[in-house]
């Protein structure tokens, strides 16, 4: 089976690229012939815009020469991502081959409800797609509410490569560490965690906090100085590869107190590496983080509860270990990359055979 997968460049920062890379590295993907088409590269805006035009032209030229994969799989998010992929969708749909759209991003519902033009464009795409893949049951419920029986909706969780995350249960450490990995800024709750760190340190003076990610990195460094936390907070900037793995291994608790999410890859990676997770009960997160079993969920913006839950975990090594083991077990059951990729391939085969 020949598959065209369309999404941002594989080396771009962000969850979509991370999902695509994880799929493509699985053994299960060896069963299909896949061509990945990157629509947006990383770098300065002028380079991105020029690259987008070149890649779009290459795609059209390939179709004009008669290229016809068995199925198109298009990864997209909201706003700019949606409209960039809408062009690819129309061109792929015109071939008569099935086109599957895969919804990512934290604000698809906000995008749908933002105005008539956005809603009509999104629903126009979804009802003509061969299937709509959502990354959580929560997102699936939204799409079913919008579309009724006018779209086929499938839920496929984000994948995690369990073989990469091999940390054993952590020993009790004199300076337990809370790790954050994500876009530095309001949406991920960065400032809530930083303010909570002040309270946590009053309770657990040896606690440390590590922030990894792109975004408002310099603002974060300034806030660390303002709050007098330079002795206990490390701001890494963007990390990936073996550096990221080493920071997961050195952590004792993972925290992502987001306001808006889909199903964050970083939470699944933390669970795979046996870390208890403190996050918020939004979108797909409660489908991964089970309150009191694999971690804790607090309301977005509730800094007092966030500090309390982090303090509870940092003070109790046995609970951390038990929750970390439960998190790993849940990752094995629900998010294993080989299993998830197999589900996707089965869907591709079904859709391709129905045309």
| Cα-only R_g, the chain | 21
Same domain, yes or no: 133 and 199: no
How many domains does the chain divide into?
Answer: 2
Same domain, yes or no: 298 and 212: yes
| pLDDT at 99 > cutoff 80 | yes
Phi, psi of 312 (to 5 degrees): -55, -45
d(CA 102, CA 84): 14
Same domain, yes or no: 204 and 322: yes
List, for residues 270-280, the tens digit of each pLDDT value: 999 999 999 99
- Exposure of 53 by Cβ count < 10 A (0-12 exposed, 13-18 middle, 19+ buried)? exposed
For the chain, helix (H) and strand (E) counts, in that order, are: 13, 12
List, for residues 164-199, the tens digit of each pLDDT value: 999 999 999 999 999 999 999 999 999 999 999 999
Same domain, yes or no: 53 and 96: yes
d(CA 166, CA 176): 19
How high is the pLDDT of residue 83?
92
Same domain, yes or no: 298 and 321: yes
List, for residues 276-317, the tens digit of each pLDDT value: 999 999 989 999 999 999 999 999 999 999 999 999 999 999
Same domain, yes or no: 22 and 103: yes
Same domain, yes or no: 72 and 208: no
List, for residues 120-166, the tens digit of each pLDDT value: 999 999 999 999 999 999 999 999 999 999 999 999 999 999 999 99
* Between residues 341 and 41, the one the model is more confident about: 341
Same domain, yes or no: 90 and 23: yes
Same domain, yes or no: 91 and 36: yes
How high is the pLDDT of residue 231?
96
List, for residues 26-39, the tens digit of each pLDDT value: 999 999 999 999 98
Same domain, yes or no: 31 and 132: yes
Same domain, yes or no: 183 and 155: no
Per DSSP (E only), the strands in the chain are 2-7, 33-38, 71-76, 99-103, 131-134, 153-155, 177-181, 208-212, 233-237, 253-256, 277-279, 295-297
Average pLDDT, the chain: 94
How high is the pLDDT of residue 153?
97
d(CA 351, CA 61): 25
3-state helix, strand, coil in the chain (%, to 5): 50, 15, 35
CATH number at residue 7: 3.40.50.2000
| pLDDT at 96 > cutoff 90 | yes
Q: What's the domain range around 193?
A: 162-334
Same domain, yes or no: 136 and 18: yes
List, for residues 192-225, the tens digit of each pLDDT value: 999 999 999 999 999 999 999 999 999 999 999 9
Across-strand partners of 103?
76, 134
3-class DSSP assignment, residue 295:
strand
List, for residues 244-273, the tens digit of each pLDDT value: 999 999 999 999 999 988 899 999 999 999
How high is the pLDDT of residue 26?
96
How high is the pLDDT of residue 329?
97
How high is the pLDDT of residue 45?
64
d(CA 294, CA 191): 24
| pLDDT at 6 > cutoff 70 | yes
How high is the pLDDT of residue 184?
97
End-to-end CA distance of the chain: 13
């Amino acid at each position: 089976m020949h598959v065209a997968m369309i999404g941002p460049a594989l080396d771009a920062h962000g969850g979509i690229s991370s999902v695509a890379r994880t799929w493509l590295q699985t053994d299960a993907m060896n069963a299909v012939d896949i061509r990945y088409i990157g629509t947006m590269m990383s770098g300065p805006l002028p380079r991105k815009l020029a690259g987008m035009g070149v890649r779009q032209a290459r795609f059209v030229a390939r179709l004009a020469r008669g290229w016809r994969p068995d199925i198109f799989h298009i990864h997209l998010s909201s706003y700019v991502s949606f409209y960039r992929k809408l062009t690819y969708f129309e061109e792929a749909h015109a071939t008569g081959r099935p086109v599957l759209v895969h919804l990512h991003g934290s604000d698809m519902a906000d995008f749908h409800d933002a105005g008539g033009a956005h809603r009509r464009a999104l629903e126009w795409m979804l009802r003509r797609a061969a299937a709509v893949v959502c990354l959580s049951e929560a997102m699936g419920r939204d799409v079913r509410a919008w579309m009724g029986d006018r779209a086929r909706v499938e839920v496929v969780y984000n994948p995690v490569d369990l073989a990469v995350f091999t940390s054993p249960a952590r020993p009790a450490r004199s300076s337990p560490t809370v790790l954050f990995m994500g876009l530095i800024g309001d949406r991920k709750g960065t400032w809530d965690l930083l303010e909570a760190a002040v309270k946590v340190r009053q309770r657990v003076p040896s606690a440390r906090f590590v922030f990894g990610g792109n975004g408002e990195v310099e603002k974060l460094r300034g806030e660390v100085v303002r709050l007098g936390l330079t002795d206990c907070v490390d701001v890494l900037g963007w990390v990936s590869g073996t550096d990221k793995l080493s920071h997961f291994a050195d952590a004792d608790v993972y925290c992502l107190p987001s306001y808006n999410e889909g199903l964050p890859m970083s939470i699944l990676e933390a669970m795979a590496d046996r870390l208890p997770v403190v996050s918020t009960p939004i979108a797909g997160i409660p489908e991964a983080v089970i309150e009191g079993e694999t971690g804790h969920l607090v309301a977005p913006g509730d800094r007092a509860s966030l500090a309390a839950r982090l303090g509870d975990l940092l003070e109790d090594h046995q609970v951390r270990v038990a929750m970390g083991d439960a998190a790993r077990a849940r990752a094995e059951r629900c998010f294993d990359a080989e299993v998830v990729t197999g589900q996707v391939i089965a869907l591709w085969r079904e859709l391709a055979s129905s045309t």
